[in-house]
Amino acid sequence: MLGVLITVGMLAGYTVLVTSADLSHGVRSVQADWMVRSLRLFLPSFSFGVAGFTALFYWDALFPDRRDFLILAPFPIPLHQVVAAKLTALLLFVVLLVGAVNVTPDSMVLLSLFGPNSRGNWLRLASAQVAATFGASAFAFLMVAAGQGILISLTSARIFRRTSPWIQMFGMSAMVITVLGFPFFAGLLRPAVEQRQFWLYLFPPVWFSGLFELLLGAQNQFLASLGMLSIQMTALAMLVIIVTWGFGFRRHFRRTLESEDAARRPRAWSVAHWLASSPQERAIFGFAGKTLARSQKHQFFIATYFSAGLAIALFFGVAIQEGRLALSPAGARTVAFVLGFFAISGFRAVFQFPAELASNWIFRMTEARWTEVSRNATRKLVLTISLVPLLLVALPLEIAAWNWPTVLEHSVVQLIAAALLVELLFWNFDKVPFTCSYFPGKTNLAVLTILYIYGITGYSFNMADLEIAMEHRWAVGVRFFVGAALALMLSWRRHPEASGVRFDGSEPVIQSLELN
């Protein structure tokens, strides 16, 4: 994980290196000053986003969980020692995380700043840079830990367990958007500061970029006050951690051991009954649906995918007008296609990750060459749980932006385009979702990235263009609908060879099972 962070940090540092160096020397205009301020927002945003994402990812490891308590309780260890050990481990983790996130980009930026013009000023610049980035990442971690402390102190163990995945999922999405949405935040910075817009108080990376003003001599008093706010909020987060952990730890220990997950009455999986045509198809549909609904690791994966999609959709569909975000009339049509692309390709990817590999035996034992059955179930599941909610969520916004016929046309085209995309992406999907340990490890990451970039842009722009063309020439629409109907019919009627469903790449995976 640290390796990944360092690599990402290197790339991030590199992107701002040259410009930062150019703009940090000599006399600058007011406009150039704001450009520097915008650029200075990047690394605090990056540090905050990555550290916050990591802290949320390790949410369960911040406080000892039920399993930790069950293992530790029989040992003759006083609880205060457990607390002290946990806090020490967390402190070490924060130091490593903050260092891993920031050392490389900061080093590169500071090296670039070092020159004949900045020699006298370099130490102050360096301290401001380090304070802003290290502070942002440390605050992100402390903020998450403080939030968890409050939750543990105020709620029951059961509510804590139930709400945690949602907090993680939405929190991780927000962190991804914080990093990927940087161009918007940078573009909005000047008007937002000049108008003292409220969102600045809710966006910690701006507070930490205010440390530059505070430490280098305030040219902008408001940003300097936000810099002071960053120090106050960091202190507050630490105070909250000390108080909540101090009071909450013993209570959490007792409650965690005493509480059990209450009985869960299974929801009638009516969608499966309605859509799937055979007991096997319904079984696979229901299994995959329940896995998605209950498996945290898969939910986090999908949430990250959606967040990345949302950030990219914002690039296409939103523009800055008069210092505020506004819907771009030209790009708005692409938003739903981008989100659809990420949703479908996200599910294609998440299905590859096994839920509980050792439990796959039930599928292997009952297998009846249901490649086609599995594909049908998967196709219906993807369209049901990714596209339909997306259409429903987008509908009010589209109604507000467009007229009814346009909304209807857009929804129908989106549905058909998504169905075609599902056929394309799942063409050779010969697995049961969440059961296969075989991951295509030979896929070239660079090729995959290029395909993705072309896939997103090609799919969303082409479909948006096609949609506009259909509004002007009905013949285009007829050709599209007829062509799509034919393609879908052929694909749905395709009967692939009745081969066995793929579960594992090679036998050694099985070999490891209890051959003691």
Partner 1 sequence: MLEIRNLTKRFRGAPVVADVSFAVRPGEITGYLGPNGSGKSTTVKILTGLLHASSGHIFYRGKNVFDDPIGFRQRLGYVPEEPNLYGYLTGLEFLQLAGGLRSLPEDLVTKRSNQLLELLYLHDARWVPIANYSKGMKQRVLIAAALLHDPDLLIFDEAQSGLDITNSLLFRHLLRELAARGKAVLYISHVLELVEKVCDHIVVIDKGKIVADDSVGGLRTLMQRPNLEGVFMQLIHQDDLESRARAIASAIMP
Residue with smaller CB distance to partner 1, 260 or 322? 260
Shortest CB 432 distance to partner 1, Å: 9
185: closest CA among 308, 307, 311, 309? 311
Give the torsion sign (CA, 325, 57, 149, 165).
positive
Residue with smaller CB distance to partner 1, 124 or 290? 290
Residue with smaller CB distance to partner 1, 135 or 354? 354
CA 508 to chain centre: 34
Residue with smaller CB distance to partner 1, 27 or 358? 358
What is the DSSP-derived secondary structure letter of residue 360? G
In the block, tokens 């949405």 appear at 181
Instruction: Give DSSP secondary structure letters for 101-126.
Output: HHHHHHHHHHHHH-STTTTTTHHHHH
Q: What angle do CA 283, 362, 277 make, to 5 degrees?
A: 20
Shortest CB 284 distance to partner 1, Å: 8
Residue with smaller CB distance to partner 1, 40 or 380? 380
Burial (CB < 10 A; 0-12, 13-18, 19+), residue 309, is buried
Using CA atoms, how far apart are residues 208 and 62, in angstroms rounded to an integer?
A: 24
Token pair in block for residue 266 = 């299974």
Token pair in block for residue 422 = 């599902």
Shortest CB 388 distance to partner 1, Å: 23
Burial (CB < 10 A; 0-12, 13-18, 19+), residue 3, is exposed
Token pair in block for residue 267 = 């929801």
Residue with smaller CB distance to partner 1, 299 or 328? 299
Residue with smaller CB distance to partner 1, 242 or 362? 362
59: closest CA among 90, 85, 82? 90
Shortest CB 514 distance to partner 1, Å: 6
Residue with smaller CB distance to partner 1, 57 or 503? 503
Shortest CB 500 distance to partner 1, Å: 9
Shortest CB 216 distance to partner 1, Å: 53
Residue with smaller CB distance to partner 1, 157 or 284? 284
Residue with smaller CB distance to partner 1, 262 or 447? 262
Which residues on adjacent β-strands are paired with residue 319? 326
- Where helices occur in 24-65 by DSSP H, the ranges are 30-40, 42-57, 59-62
Using CA atoms, how far apart are residues 349 and 303, in angstroms rounded to an integer?
A: 12
Using CA atoms, how far apart are residues 221 and 213, in angstroms rounded to an integer?
A: 8
Shortest CB 354 distance to partner 1, Å: 11
Shortest CB 358 distance to partner 1, Å: 4
Using CA atoms, how far apart are residues 437 and 247, in angstroms rounded to an integer?
A: 43
**Share in percent of the chain as helix, strand, coil (round to 5):** 75, 0, 20
Which residues on adjacent β-strands are paired with residue 327? 318
Of all helices (H) and strands (E), which one includes residue 74?
none
Shortest CB 278 distance to partner 1, Å: 7
Residue with smaller CB distance to partner 1, 95 or 513? 513
Shortest CB 70 distance to partner 1, Å: 13
Instruction: Give DSSP secondary structure letters for 403-444.
Output: -HHHHHHHHHHHHHHHHHHHHHHTTT--S-TT------TT--
In the block, tokens 């594992």 appear at 504
Token pair in block for residue 500 = 């066995």
Token pair in block for residue 116 = 């004949």
Please report, as ranges, the residues that interact with partner 1 according to CB under 8 A.
260-261, 263-266, 278-280, 282-284, 286-287, 290-291, 294-295, 355-356, 358-359, 361-369, 507, 510-511, 513-516
Residue with smaller CB distance to partner 1, 62 or 292? 292
Shortest CB 285 distance to partner 1, Å: 9
Token pair in block for residue 295 = 């498996």
